[in-house]
Amino acid sequence: MRPEDVTVNAADIARLAEVGRAAVSNWRKRFEDFPQPVGGTASSPAFSLADIEAWLRRHGRYVEVAPIERLWQRLRAGTDDIRLGDAVAHAGALLLSLRQDPAGWQTLLALDDESLIERLPEAPPDGVAVDAGLVRAIAEVAESEGPAEAFRGICDRYVELHSRRLLATPRPVAELMAKLGGTAGATVLDPACGIGTLLLASGASRALGQEINESAARLAGICLRFADVAGIVAAGDSLRADAFPGELADVVVCNPPFNERAWGYEELTSDPRWEYGLPPRGESELAWVQHCLSHVKPGGLVVIMMPGTAASRRPGRRIRGNLLRAGALRAVITLYPGAAPASSGAPDLWVLRRPAPGDSPPSDVLMVNAGDDLDMADKAWHAFAEGGELPAGSGRVRIIDLLDEEVDLTTGHRVVSAEQPDPAGYAAVRERTEALLRDLGAGLPRLVAGGRGELPMTTVGELVRAGVVTIMHSPLKMPDKGDLPVLTTEDLLLGRPPSGRTAEVAGQVRIEAGDVVAPLVAGSGPVPRVMTEPGAVLGAQLLLLRADPERLDPHFLAGCLRAAGATSTRLGSSMRFDPRRAQLPRLAVEEQRRYGEAFRRLLEFEDAMRAAREMSETLIAAGFDGLFDGTLRLE
């Protein structure tokens, strides 16, 4: 395939030019010389990459196309979207082979094109066009980026393109499920593994996965091999054709498909897995629950994502009751809306334990209203398991109180999401609220209307290459106990001191005054902030950007990152913030400091507004409750 044959769509052009998709649409309308589509459809036209690059150069907007981006476009051009997963998996297999035998690949690449294709270690799948140019491009990217990073790059782009089909579990939720199950170093099974998100997050010593989509199953297997995790990923329908009959894992984690009516009700009516009752036709999730329990060792845990409606639907109440009576269901944890990519509602995590012979049934179950506070959910589970004090938003609920006609496991009916306000403190809260409201706005910067002329721009990536900015990440795994303070995502959101704790491990990043810390997952709530106190350890899901203060003002950098918050790469149903693509105006450092001070004051106002909103909600609730129950009266 010739480079000029490679095509791109509007989203690709936006990523190449480091702009939003709206800008590309605007260019097509404003500029008569914008390239005409060479394929695609009316709603998703395809353009020649060579033509787009030439146009961007003419208009002074060209950004050098990274080799990984060119490789991705060549992969896409070699097949249709249905077989694209096979193309990505084949590229991954070649990259694995290259990592394992670099010397053999040097010999292979020295051959002529025809011999190279004939001697590939893995034949291309049907319907995927692979030529020598593509193979050499894969090898070139592997040499410059490393085989694992090259595969991660094309896999991330594939997930972004097919996010609605692949439905990958958000990484923070996957990590929470791993913590709840205690999966590190264990044999872990995921019977609906997708591309392996939960298995990769588990830290398993041995991973077993099954996935109905063959392309996704192949990708999951390659991801595990790149992560050096021993295991097997099989393709097939877990409920109808179990790939691991008789296998008992230490832990089972699962994010199954929701609301599947064609899950096999007719064929599986007498299946021995239905120990707690035959799942109703419309309750496929309860089939998955029992499938998972059948594959875990006695005393082992199952952590499974469930739609919120599964806690209360009438057809499933008998199975819910049986799970409770047997002591199998140990916790119901409600998350935030959208935590399950298969649903826009707030899903639940059910934590189950397969009863061991001789066990006494427990008397209570944990219920948690976690929302987006995933750390609280983890703390509540471990406190519950160890008999400790539970955090606000969680509670122990007696099983006997749940075994009524409905067997309703909805957490909102049993525990509150925050501490109840104290009506006796109404006067004090009122005074603090009034004082805070009086001060609001005093520190806001005075801004006036300006012209709409475009400023010359640069990117954080260019500043990194120039040595002005250094980007650092925390290690994937850190101890959750120790003496070192850790800045968490919630600390970043609330602008509070570090609340986490850890011990010394290799690869930790220590925060210095003036560092800019931003969230790894875009749209997760926390905003970029400039650190004022040194010494804490950078927590999980955070990025640190350290700038040369003589060349780049940190408050200016933080403000520009905030404004460019939509600059991100989709990873499943979550958005990974990519700071290198964020744009900054080219300004002298003195002017940067003026802008940086305005950004700082805007953020302080936002924090004050958040505090005022939370305080006012407490005040209003205390007023209503106090007037209603008589603990407050009118003056």
Both tokens of 543, joined, read 């990025």
Q: Please state, in angstroms and rounded to a whole number, the distance separating the CA atoms of residues 613 and 101.
A: 60
Region at 496 (left for phi over 0; alpha for psi -120 to 50; beta for the rest): beta
How crowded is residue 235: how many other Cβ atoms within 10 Å of its Cβ? 18
Q: Please state, in angstroms and rounded to a whole number, the distance separating the CA atoms of residues 368 and 311.
A: 13
Q: HEC profile for 190-232?
A: ECCCCCCHHHHHHCCCEEEEEECCHHHHHHHHHHHHHCCCEEE
Q: What angle do CA 94, 135, 93 make, to 5 degrees?
A: 10
**pLDDT at residue 75, as a whole number:** 86
Q: What angle do CA 390, 394, 397 make, to 5 degrees?
A: 95
Both tokens of 605, joined, read 């106002």
Sign of CA dihedral 159, 160, 161, 162: positive
Q: What is the pLDDT of residues 576-626, one digit of tens each?
A: 567 888 888 999 999 999 999 998 888 888 877 877 777 787 778 778 877
Comparison of pLDDT for 21 and 102, the residue scoring more = 102
Given a cut of 50, is residue 418 above it in pLDDT?
Answer: no
Contacts of 521 (CB under 8 A, 6+ apart): 170, 171, 172, 541, 574, 575, 576, 577
The lowest-confidence range among 203-217, 382-396, 520-534 is: 520-534
Given a cut of 80, is residue 523 above it in pLDDT?
Answer: no
Name the pLDDT band for 419 (thresholds 50, 70, 90): very low
Provide DSSP, 538-577.
E-TTEEEEEE-TTTS-HHHHHHHHHHTTT-EEEETTEEEE
Contact 232, 240 (CB under 8 A): no
The lowest-confidence range among 2-6, 242-246, 484-488 is: 2-6
Contact 445, 601 (CB under 8 A): yes
Q: Please state, in angstroms and rounded to a whole number, the distance separating the CA atoms of residues 374 and 177.
A: 10
Both tokens of 529, joined, read 């902030």
Q: Please state, in angstroms and rounded to a whole number, the distance separating the CA atoms of residues 160 and 338.
A: 17
Average pLDDT rounded to a whole number, residues 404-427: 71
Given a cut of 90, is residue 339 above it in pLDDT?
Answer: no
**pLDDT at residue 526, as a whole number:** 58
How does DSSP classify residue 28? H
The lowest-confidence range among 108-117, 365-374, 393-402, 626-635 is: 626-635
The lowest-confidence range among 4-18, 279-293, 337-351 is: 4-18
**pLDDT at residue 524, as a whole number:** 46
Q: Helix, strand, coil: what percent of the chain each, to 5?
A: 40, 15, 40
**pLDDT at residue 629, as a whole number:** 67
The lowest-confidence range among 346-360, 486-500, 512-526 is: 512-526
Look over the chain and give the mean of its residue pLDDT values, rounded to a whole number.
86
Q: Are strands 457-459 and 583-585 parallel, antiparallel or unpaired?
A: antiparallel
Given a cut of 60, is residue 421 above it in pLDDT?
Answer: no
Given a cut of 70, is residue 525 above it in pLDDT?
Answer: no
pTM to 2 decimals?
0.64
Given a cut of 70, is residue 268 above it in pLDDT?
Answer: yes
Given a cut of 90, is residue 223 above it in pLDDT?
Answer: yes
Name the pLDDT band for 239 (thresholds 50, 70, 90): very high
Q: What is the pLDDT of residues 110-153, one digit of tens each?
A: 999 999 999 998 888 888 888 888 899 899 999 988 999 899 88
First vs last Cα of the chain: how many Å apart? 83
Identify the CA nearest to 601 among candidates 446, 466, 497. Answer: 446
How crowded is residue 95: how many other Cβ atoms within 10 Å of its Cβ? 25
Contact 493, 515 (CB under 8 A): no
Name the pLDDT band for 321 (thresholds 50, 70, 90): very high
Q: What is the pLDDT of residues 249-267, one digit of tens each?
A: 999 999 999 988 899 999 9
Q: What is the pLDDT of residues 528-538, one digit of tens each?
A: 899 988 889 99
**pLDDT at residue 63, as a whole number:** 63
Identify the CA nearest to 489 among candidates 449, 518, 513. Answer: 518
Sign of CA dihedral 396, 401, 407, 410: negative
The residue whose two tokens read 């997952």 is 521
**pLDDT at residue 200, as a whole number:** 94
* Dihedral over alpha carbons 335, 340, 344, 345 (to 10 degrees): -30
How does DSSP classify residue 316? G
Q: What is the pLDDT of residues 546-580, one digit of tens each?
A: 999 899 999 999 999 888 664 444 333 344 567 88
Q: Please state, in angstroms and rounded to a whole number, the distance separating the CA atoms of residues 334 and 396.
A: 14
Q: Please state, in angstroms and rounded to a whole number, the distance separating the CA atoms of residues 189 and 205.
A: 11
Q: Please state, in angstroms and rounded to a whole number, the distance separating the CA atoms of residues 215 and 89.
A: 7
Name the pLDDT band for 344 (thresholds 50, 70, 90): low
Q: Which domains does the chain have, with CATH numbers?
A: 3-164 (no CATH), 165-413 (3.40.50.150), 457-586 (3.90.220.20)
Q: What is the pLDDT of residues 364-391, one digit of tens each?
A: 999 999 988 999 999 999 999 999 999 9
Q: Report, in angstroms and rounded to the nearest whole number, the Rg of the chain calculated over CA atoms.
A: 27
Q: Are strands 230-235 and 206-211 parallel, antiparallel or unpaired?
A: parallel
Given a cut of 90, is residue 489 above it in pLDDT?
Answer: no
Q: Please state, in angstroms and rounded to a whole number, the distance separating the CA atoms of residues 113 and 473.
A: 41
Q: Please state, in angstroms and rounded to a whole number, the distance separating the CA atoms of residues 131 and 139.
A: 13
Q: Please state, in angstroms and rounded to a whole number, the distance separating the CA atoms of residues 174 and 453.
A: 45
Average pLDDT rounded to a whole number, residues 64-90: 83
